[in-house]
């Protein structure tokens, strides 16, 4: 259900382990926030989020509430690190409304 309410505008992997992503949220109807998940393909590793809009975090699953998204002008800038090894990583951003996913966007990044 890819729509225009959430869009991953850019996602890159640098130095084989550092991920940066820009997620744009443009939703006029009610929603609770955005859930960002990752999936590591072809290897044994995990992705840990280290920064959200300049704020330091240490999370393996990330939920950003609507209030924080609104304060950032609808833009989330994320940084994450791959712990372990990975060849490809999927980044998925989902709009959550009443505990349900209503829209999403995803990108698959080549690490190697």
CA distance 4 to 82: 28
Range of the domain at 97: 6-106
Tokens of 55: 């704020």
| Res. 46: pLDDT tops 50 | yes
> Is residue 112, in this structure, part of any structural domain at all?
no
Q: Is residue 111 part of a domain?
A: no
Which one has a higher pLDDT value, 103 or 112? Answer: 103
Q: What is the pTM of this model?
A: 0.90
pLDDT in tens, 54-106: 999 999 999 999 999 999 899 999 999 999 988 999 999 999 999 999 999 99
- pLDDT for 3 equals 55
Contact (CB, 8 A) for 2 and 103: yes
Q: How many domains does the chain divide into? A: 1
pLDDT for 2 beyond 60: no
CATH number at residue 12: 2.60.40
Quick check: is 82 in a domain? yes
């Amino acid at each position: 259900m890819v729509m225009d309410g959430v869009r991953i505008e850019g996602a890159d992997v640098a130095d084989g382990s550092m991920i940066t992503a820009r997620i744009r949220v443009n939703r006029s109807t009610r929603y609770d926030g955005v859930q960002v998940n990752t999936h590591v393909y072809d290897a044994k590793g995990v992705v840990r989020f280290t920064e959200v809009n300049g704020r330091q975090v240490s999370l393996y699953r990330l939920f950003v509430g609507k209030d924080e998204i609104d304060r950032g002008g609808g833009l989330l800038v994320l940084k994450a690190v791959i712990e372990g090894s990975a060849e490809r990583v999927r980044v998925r951003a989902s709009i959550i409304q009443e505990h349900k996913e209503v829209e999403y966007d995803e990108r698959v990044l080549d690490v190697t």
